[in-house]
Amino acid sequence: MTAWVLHVDLDQFIAAVEVLRRPELRGLPVVVGGDGDPAKRGVVATASYEARAFGVHSGLPLRTAVRRCPDCVFLPADRTAYEAVSEEVMTALRSLGAVTEVMGWDEAFVAVDSDDPESFARQIQQRIKIATQLDCTVGIGENRLQAKLATGFGKPAGIYRLTSQSWFDVLGGQPTSALWGIGAKTAGKLAELGIMTVSQLATADVRAVAARFGPTTGPWLVLTARGIASDEVSGEPYLPRSRSREVTFQQDVTDWNQVRAEVLEIAGRVTADVLAEQRPAVRIVVKVRYRPFFTSTHGVPLDQPSSERSAIERAALAALEKFTDRRPVRLLGVRAEFAGNEA
DNA sequence: TCTGGGGTCCTAGGACCC
DNA sequence: TCTGGGGTCCTAGGACCC
């Protein structure tokens, strides 16, 4: 028996949920995001494969998406619906009895001891399909990193195994940004060091990378390129570190009295989230995004841990007072932070 | 005709203490 | 007298991910 990590990833989850409850959309280019009006500020949350053929992808501004695909069906994001289906998916997954760590609405890691992990992966796909009619892809690896990256090679609806044996054959020549946790910025900095590919990063001088990225991140980058990572899958309940709410205004807010009023409104919603969490907040952070797109944050600790609306509102206003710039505001956010998890 | 919303983790720099 | 060095905590920002 060998210990494997499986990464389960639902295929175009949000679009698939929408098609499920509106079967007439099947086969059409569907774009979900914002409140469904592509003339407004907002970005694409998910695009169906048909919509992707028009160059529409997640993160794309809705206004750009509608220009690229005027015939796409635009739908509002419906968190409640996705959370409900996600719950069904994860329940089906857990019913197989393996340790399962949920990573979001549409992703989970599963720990499996088996000589035939592909067989277990097929069971996962069948169980989820029966429970929800949804397709998923399963990546198989010796650790979380390998499993996570394997999934990308199995889509859609497939199974793919990536191990230390095959790691460099599959990924060695790929750009460093193909790795989980390396984005455009880090790839750019690595390129300045002459490191372009996964193989080059894997064989790079750790000290040189650490000098550029710090004593924790540097060695982590090199290990990641070698396919080395934790194989731990936690079945413990998830404890959030923070809860936040934010709003992008359709028109920038210029009146600072209105800014204060909006912060109070958002703080009220955050309070509800904190109460639902049944753990007191210890710090409140306010985020302001000014026109055109400059973002800044300021926070204040609470005098004592609290879930009281008045305390959270007071702290949010105190944090807001730290902002001296009165330029027009396009986004406001309020975040409540919980105490760290003591072992 | 720009650039959502909800999260996590790491780093750098200043404050503060001995 | 013109200034050390280490450690820790806090804050703001950066980067990444779904």
**Which tens digit of pLDDT belongs to each residue from A11-69?**
999 999 999 999 999 999 999 999 999 999 999 999 999 999 999 999 899 999 999 99
* Cα distance between residue A275 and residue A310, in whole Å: 13
CB of A285 within 7 Å of some strand C atom? yes
Footprint of strand B on the protein (CB under 7 A): A 34, 39, 41-43, 45, 58-59, 61, 63, 66-67, 77, 213-218, 240-248, 273, 292-293, 330-331, 333, 335
- Residue A308 annotated as catalytic: no
Is pLDDT of A75 > 80? yes
| Cα A232 to chain centroid, rounded | 20
CB of A60 within 7 Å of some strand C atom? no
Torsion angle defined by CA atoms of residues A36, A42, A43 and A45, in that order, rounded to the nearest 10 degrees: -50
**Which tens digit of pLDDT belongs to each residue from A195-246?**
999 999 999 999 999 999 988 899 999 999 999 999 999 999 889 999 999 9
How does the average pLDDT of chain A come out, rounded?
A: 95
Q: What three-state secondary structure class fits A150? A: helix
Is pLDDT of A111 > 90? yes
pLDDT attached to residue A73? 95
List A50, A107, A142, A337, catalytic entry: A107
Are A245 and A271 in contact by the 8 Å Cβ rule? The answer is: no
Cβ contacts of residue A298 below 8 Å, gap of 6+?
A285, A286, A319, A320, A322, A323
How long is the CA A55 to C1' C9 vector, in angstroms? 47
How long is the CA A68 to C1' B8 vector, in angstroms? 33
CB of A30 within 7 Å of some strand C atom? no
CATH numbers and ranges of domains, chain A: 1-163 (3.30.70.270), 172-225 (1.10.150.20), 242-338 (3.30.1490.100)
* Cα distance between residue A144 and residue A20, in whole Å: 30
Please name the residue whose C-alpha is nearest to the C1' of nucleotide B11: A214
Going A7 to A8 to A10 to A11, the CA torsion angle's sign is positive
How long is the CA A207 to C1' C15 vector, in angstroms? 21
* DSSP code, position A237: P
pLDDT attached to residue A224? 97
pLDDT attached to residue A341? 58
Chain C bases having any atom below 7 Å from a protein CB: 10-18
Is pLDDT of A340 > 80? no
Element (H, E) at A167: helix A167-171
Are A3 and A22 in contact by the 8 Å Cβ rule? The answer is: no
**Which tens digit of pLDDT belongs to each residue from A251-272?**
999 999 999 999 999 999 999 9
pLDDT attached to residue A315? 97
How long is the CA A289 to C1' B3 vector, in angstroms? 12
Residues 129-158 of A with CB under 7 A from strand C: 148
Buried b / exposed e over A245-279, threshold 16 CB at 10 Å, is bebbbeeebeeeeebeebbbebbeebbebbeebeb
